[in-house]
Chain A
Amino acid sequence: MALPRRTLFAASGAGALTLGCAACGSGGAMDPSVPLDLEAPDADLTGSIALLTPDFVGDDRAVLDDDIIAPFTRRTGVEVSVDQVDWDKLNEKISTGIAGGIIADVIMTGVGWTQPFAEKGIFAEIPAEYIESLGYDESVLMSTRYDGAYYSLPQALDLRFIGYHPDLLEKKGIDDPPRTLDELAQVAAELTGDGVVGLDFLSGSAGSARQAFVFLLYAFGGTLFSADGLAPRLHEEPGRRALQWMLDCMDSGAIDYSIRAAEGQPSPFQQRTAAMSLVSTGNWPTWETMTPDLCEKGAVGTFLLPSGTGSDPVMFQGGTFISVSSLSKNKDAAAALMKHMLDPDILSAASAATGKVPPTPDIPESEGIRSNLLMTFGLENLAHAGAAEGGSAAYMEVRSNLDGIVETCLTGGATVDQTLADMKKLCDGAISRI
């Protein structure tokens, strides 16, 4: 029997549609509602799992393979394959994985990523009893919660505070670091001159303009979002004061927006063209390679960003957080790997390799940690690490656009009022799309 061409077209079209629908509909055969069992005995664990990580690149990869994963595999018999993706492309990797229903069993992301992926149902809930048993400071757990439940745990932190050249301060007769933001602005203005800028806050050597704004926002007692993450708060009075503080410092010359270092060149602070600077614990490896004299004891002084409201000083918190995929087919093994990676010995090994700060000071001391003066300072002040990005499921959309809004204000393209209105509009729009 000869089939008419039109019938053939219609039949093949319907076939393709059925195939597509069936494929998409049954793509995720896993059950996201299965809770994490962190007490599963090692003997019960089998199979293999995948770990997605943006950390442990280059030489550090050997530490991940030999000192972190190998003991886990020896103990449990579970094979772990590592998918390494750099930070710039991590969101694309996770997003395409979610769309395709293929996502690693254990996922490492950043601060501010937990709520958006927890809201999408990608991260599995972690039992609160387990987290409480770890004894971590509340400051490092803030970013791990969504809707009252825990969905991630800090594995390595990148902490930011202010660093200064003690000799440059001494030269101006300044003996003690400033205790308030007004004092900081005043000291920065005093230090400015003779080719030196008082405070390098915006050169990008320790984070973007967005992060500098968020840091100040917390110093002025603000937050990015309401507690439930469904209303923006960054446009309120603390946000206004944060923007105005930066603009005032730029007016007095204490902060120079145009001070930048070319890619690959030392930062203004390393070049001693900035007396004080926002520094990150992640700067230490660069200092060791480029300007080792800064790594000597006493070469650099550090202090937390003073509060603008008379309360405690604050430290900015970035870092790598670890989660288990709710779509994992081998959740028990994935949960066991997460637990293994938070073991104090493993945290110590990871910290020594990556130079990042462990989420708790209760880990075995190593030479890598002891000799890293920025890390030591960060660990001593972990309780102050309250300034962090995130807080809303809409933050992934907000973060990519917030930089431009802050930069526009700092370059005179918008007034403070316009900037705050733009921030609110951006957040409202993103929240409405959750």
Chain B
Amino acid sequence: MTTDLAPGAPDPLAPPHRGRARDRSLRRQKRLSNTLVLAFLIIASLIMAAPFLWMALSSLRDPTELARTPMPLIPRDLRLENYSEALGRAPFATYARNSLILATAAAVLNVVFASACGYALAKLRFRLAPAIFAWMVACIMIPFYATVIPVFLMVRHMPLFGGNTILGAGGTGWIDTWWALIVPGAVSPFMVFLFRQFYVSTPSELIEAARLDGVSEFGIFTRIITPLIRPGLLTVGLLSFEAGWNNFLWPLLVTTSDDLRVIQVGIASFRQEASTDWHLLMAGTTLAAVPMIVLFLIFQRYFVQGFASSGIK
């Protein structure tokens, strides 16, 4: 009599050492694949970090060392003067302060307005919600360059500001003011979309229960549902801060005075028409990148969690 074994089932007649050998082989295979994945991840991380490392190393190089071919990987002398020289070339303290104000305002305003908009689109029932959401998604796809002139015109013709009449003529509107820097970036369609994705994943039963308990709609939004999407708040806050910090073209277009210029515009001062001070440019860029890197390191757990839970991976 023969016994049919299901495919893959252990053979009871097989000697026990064959099972141990298979276990060992499986463990070896797993270890090997883990090692390969780890090696791949290390190499990928190094490739991704290489430009930042190059930037940081070059910020400490002597200009003549930058000119050497091939350039040594590790700087021979650490030239910290590059930083002081870079700071002395332009009013970087003013630029950094302006960038900080702009980035903080972008983060706070986007969190406030985009969360309210995202909540309304995700949880409030009204007939135009799908159309407004589709419009928001469509807005994400419009490139910044296509909207620059219309937004510039709105800013320039802002009634009753900068000497403008009620019809928005005669003066300069919001040009060269904080309003022009902050208001156009106060709410972004992408952040609205992101918040909507976060709110969609929260339980609607909580809202219904809160309504039965007599909580106001604003109270439900601020005290019941929004605390559930804390990673989302941090993600949007961080992304908006980053966008505000790295903003270059818009501040350049709507400001004329040095008092309102931002750090990215300051960095551009190391590039001239026919020459570039690479050692200073790299020192300035490193200084500008540090706040973002520090913020990301502090909040990276929430940041990744936020993206994972919003379905944008």
Contacts and interface: CB of A to CB of B under 8 A. Distances in A.
Interface in B126-172: 148-149, 152-153, 155-157, 159, 167-170, 172
Interface stretch (A36-44, A94-102, A364-372): A94-102
Interface string B220-254: 00000000000000000000000000000100110
A63 to B, nearest CB: 13
B167 A23 contact: yes
Contacts of A339: none
B269 A283 contact: no
Given A24-B157, A26-B170, A81-B256, A96 B152 contact: yes
B41 to A, nearest CB: 28
B89 interface: yes
A89 B252 contact: yes
B271 A86 contact: yes
Contacts of A166: none
A173 interface: no
Contact of A89 (B175, B249, B269): B249
Interface stretch (B20-28, B111-119, B272-280): B272-280
Interface in B58-74: 58, 63-64, 66-67, 69, 71
Interface stretch (A286-294, A305-313, A378-386, A423-431): A286-294
Given A22-B167, A100-B153, A290-B66, A264 B276 contact: yes
A270 B249 CA distance: 34
Contacts of A295: none
Interface string A227-257: 0000000000000000000000000000000
Given A26-B167, A58-B270, A85 B67 contact: no
12 contacts: A19-B159, A57-B271, A58-B89, A58-B270, A61-B90, A83-B257, A84-B269, A93-B252, A96-B148, A100-B152, A283-B275, A286-B274
A27 B175 contact: no
A266 interface: yes
List the 5 closest pairs (A to B, CB-CB), nearest first. A282-B274, A290-B67, A23-B168, A22-B167, A23-B157
A236 to B, nearest CB: 31
B274 A26 contact: no
A22 B152 contact: no
B295 interface: no
B268 interface: yes
A265 B69 contact: yes
Nearest to B256: A83
A50 interface: yes
Contacts of B66: 264-265, 290
Size bracket, chain B contacts: 35 or more
Given A99-B149, A100-B156, A102-B156, A85 B252 contact: yes
A158 interface: yes
A266 B69 CA distance: 8
A417 interface: no
Given A23-B167, A58-B277, A100 B71 contact: no
B285 to A, nearest CB: 12
Given A27-B157, A89-B249, A96-B149, A289 B67 contact: yes
Interface in A57-95: 57-59, 61, 81-87, 89, 92-93, 95
Interface of B: 58, 63-64, 66-67, 69, 71, 89-90, 148-149, 152-153, 155-157, 159, 167-170, 172, 175, 249, 252-253, 256-258, 268-278, 280
Nearest to A264: B278
Contacts of A92: 148, 249, 252-253
Contact of A282 (B153, B172, B275): B275
Contacts of A286: 274-275
A271 interface: yes
A26 to B, nearest CB: 4
A255 B116 CA distance: 62
A32 interface: no
A102 B170 CA distance: 11
Contacts of A20: 157
Contacts of A50: 256
A105 to B, nearest CB: 11
A280 B67 contact: no
Interface in A399-423: none
